[in-house]
């Protein structure tokens, strides 16, 4: 039995990429160009909220009965996908990569996936079904 609902992961990943990545890019640009900028931290929190939202969507729409796994895999997968692009661009431009920062942010994003998974699970348990399942 396959425990991952790939359609749910795609939906949650799309939401996470749309809401989290622009704020991640903004936070990175602010950190690189204006380190004391007070807008860096709200951008990071908004990116974290985007990962929670995407993980919650993946957990909510999955049909296999593993909402927490879907939340964590969605958040981790989208973070790794986006971070891989960021690291490659940084290396091509001969920049330094803070590997500790990459790992630290990964653990924070994984925690966001746990929160999103719990929220999606709570929605399912309370009977809130995604739109396409209501009529079924």
Q: Cβ distance 74 to 12 under 8 Å?
A: yes
The pLDDT, as a whole number, for residue 1 is: 46
Query: Quick one: CA torsion of 102, 107, 113, 115, rounded to 10 degrees?
Result: -140
Q: pLDDT per position in the chain (136 positions), as tens?
A: 488 999 999 999 999 999 998 998 898 888 878 878 888 889 999 999 999 999 999 999 999 999 999 999 999 999 999 999 989 998 999 888 889 989 999 999 999 999 999 999 999 899 887 775 554 4
**Residue 8 to residue 28: CA distance in whole angstroms:** 29
**Residue 8 to residue 63: CA distance in whole angstroms:** 8
Instruction: List the chain domain ranges.
Output: 6-134
């Amino acid at each position: 039995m396959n425990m991952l609902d790939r359609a749910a992961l795609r939906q949650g990943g799309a939401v996470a990429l749309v809401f989290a990545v622009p704020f991640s890019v903004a936070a990175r640009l602010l950190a690189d160009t204006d380190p004391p900028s007070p807008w860096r931290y709200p951008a990071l929190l908004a990116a974290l909220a985007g990962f929670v939202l995407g993980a919650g969507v993946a957990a909510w729409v999955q049909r296999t009965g593993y909402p927490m796994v879907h939340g964590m895999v969605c958040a981790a997968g989208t973070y790794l996908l986006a971070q891989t692009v960021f690291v490659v661009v940084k290396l091509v431009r001969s920049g330094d990569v803070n590997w500790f920062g990459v790992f630290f942010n990964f653990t924070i994003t994984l925690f966001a996936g746990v929160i999103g998974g719990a929220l999606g699970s709570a929605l399912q348990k309370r009977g809130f079904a995604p739109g396409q399942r209501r009529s079924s």
